[in-house]
Structures are given as C-alpha cells and as structure tokens.
C-alpha cells in the first residue's frame, strides 16, 4: 500500500508555497491522490540542484562547483505539500529505469510510483549527446509522453552570455528567438529519434530567477490526473 499517497507529506515553507495552490488542489481533488511523485533528472551541470533550490527558496540540494556531480543519489523533496521530486544524474541510467518501474498496489491494481518526469537541460548545450541519450533511451521509452516535461535551464548562458541583460536579468529579443528555436529543435529531435511527441520545453534561469513562474506554470498546467499505468503493462 502506498501510504504516502494517503497520508500526505510534510509542509515546506517556501516563497512558492501558495503559488497557484487553488489550481493544484482542484486538480488533485479530481485526480483523487496526493502527493505527486516527480522525478527530476538531467546530465551533470544542467542545474537540477539550482532549480530545486530556487523553487524552494532554500538549499535543499547541493550545488556542484566543479566537474564532479553533486546529485548522484536519489533524494526527495516536497513542493506546495503535493509535489515530490527525485533527482539523479545521467550516469545512473539503470537506477532511473528501475525507479520508473517501481510500483505500488492499490485496490488490487499495480501503478507506477513515479507520476511524471522533469528533464532539466542546460541552455549552453555542452552535453546534448548525453541529454538525448537520457531522453531517447531512458525517459521516453519508459514513461508516457504526457508525463514528460523537458525544461531548459541557464537561459542566460544559451548564447554564451551574449544578449543577456545583466541589469534586468532578462534575455533580449535575439536571445528569446534563439531559445524558442532551441526548444522547438529539442522537441523535433526527440520526435525524429523516438516517434514520440513531447511538449515544447520551457526555458528559464534558476540562478537569476528568470521565468521561474513560467516553469511552475508548465508543471502545474500539466499535473497528471490519473495514476500511472506501467509501459507495456
């Protein structure tokens, strides 16, 4: 029995604690379960920890300062009393697949523990080969497309820092156009490689808190309303 789906989780006091809370509650009332268990993954350096810390407005994850990944083990967080997050790194592909097939039983039915997956990419595109391996070989084949959210962090560095307004911490029109094309390109490449259409990614900068509300809107607007059936089940 998945008790956490019945008993809820601890509250975490954050700046976003009440962000669109009514919308979240309405969706979860319709879904009839909580919390949502969301896997947050991406290659080393994509900014998973910084993203989580920005959302929670506190250091809930270690941020790596060097080349060694600081997010290798599975950890759990809560957002708005209804979201759980699991973060890992690309080198643990096997653990990710195992996690995606972790199950719980309820009323005689078997469901996937992970409700949805958020894949964090870096705007600078330094390791897109590993990113597409993660998407095309690990995530897309093992969880339904409507449960996959791809997000692009480090929007400020997408053009190596060019066209980013350091006074307002926002991109100019040239950088916005570049980021829009980048998001469409990622969506198209996944489609070409897997035949699966994912939602167009959103872009943001966790470090500068740019578009973080848009990131949250992306997550909240796509809250899953049904328990997850396993692929191939």
Average pLDDT over residues 156-168: 96
Tell me the domains of the chain and their CATH numbers.
20-221 (3.40.50.300)
Residue 53 sits at φ, ψ, to 5 deg, of -65, -35
In the DSSP assignment, the letter for residue 137 is I
Instruction: Provide the pLDDT for residue 83.
Output: 56
- Between 11 and 39, the higher pLDDT residue: 39
Q: CB within 8 A of 114, min separation 6: which ones? A: 37, 38, 39, 86, 99, 100, 102, 143, 228
The full length of the chain comes to 233
Model confidence band, residue 85 (pLDDT cutoffs 50, 70, 90): low
Structure tokens of 195? 């035949």
pTM of the model: 0.82
- 226 pLDDT higher than 50: yes
130's tokens: 């590993």
Q: What is the 3-state secondary structure (H, E, C) of 19-67?
A: CCHHHHHHHHHHHCCCCEEEEEECCCCCCHHHHHHHHHCCCCCCCCCCC
Contact 34, 25 (CB under 8 A): no
pLDDT, position 87: 59
Tell me the per-residue pLDDT of 180-217, one tens digit each, with 9 for 90 and over: 999 999 999 999 999 999 999 999 999 999 999 999 99
């Amino acid at each position: 029995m998945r008790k956490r789906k019945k008993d809820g989780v601890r509250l975490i006091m954050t700046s976003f604690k009440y962000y669109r809370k009514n919308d979240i509650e309405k969706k979860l009332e319709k879904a009839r379960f909580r919390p949502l268990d969301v896997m947050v993954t991406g290659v080393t350096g994509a900014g998973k920890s910084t993203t989580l810390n920005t959302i929670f407005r506190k250091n809930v994850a270690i941020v790596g300062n060097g080349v060694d990944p600081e997010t290798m083990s599975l950890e759990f967080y809560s957002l708005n009393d209804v979201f759980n997050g699991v973060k890992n790194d690309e080198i643990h592909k096997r653990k990710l697949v195992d996690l995606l097939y972790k199950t719980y039983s309820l009323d005689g039915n078997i469901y996937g523990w992970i409700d949805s997956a958020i894949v964090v990419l870096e705007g600078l595109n330094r390791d897109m080969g590993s990113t597409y391996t993660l998407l095309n070989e690990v995530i897309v084949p093992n969880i339904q497309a409507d449960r996959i959210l791809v997000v692009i962090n480090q929007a400020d560095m997408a053009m190596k820092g060019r066209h980013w307004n350091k006074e307002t911490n926002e991109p100019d029109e040239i950088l916005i156009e570049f980021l829009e094309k980048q998001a469409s390109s990622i969506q198209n490449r996944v489609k070409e490689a897997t035949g699966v259409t994912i939602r167009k990614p959103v872009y943001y900068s966790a470090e500068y808190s740019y578009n973080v509300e848009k990131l949250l809107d992306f997550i909240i607007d796509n809250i899953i309303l049904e328990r997850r059936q396993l692929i191939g089940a």
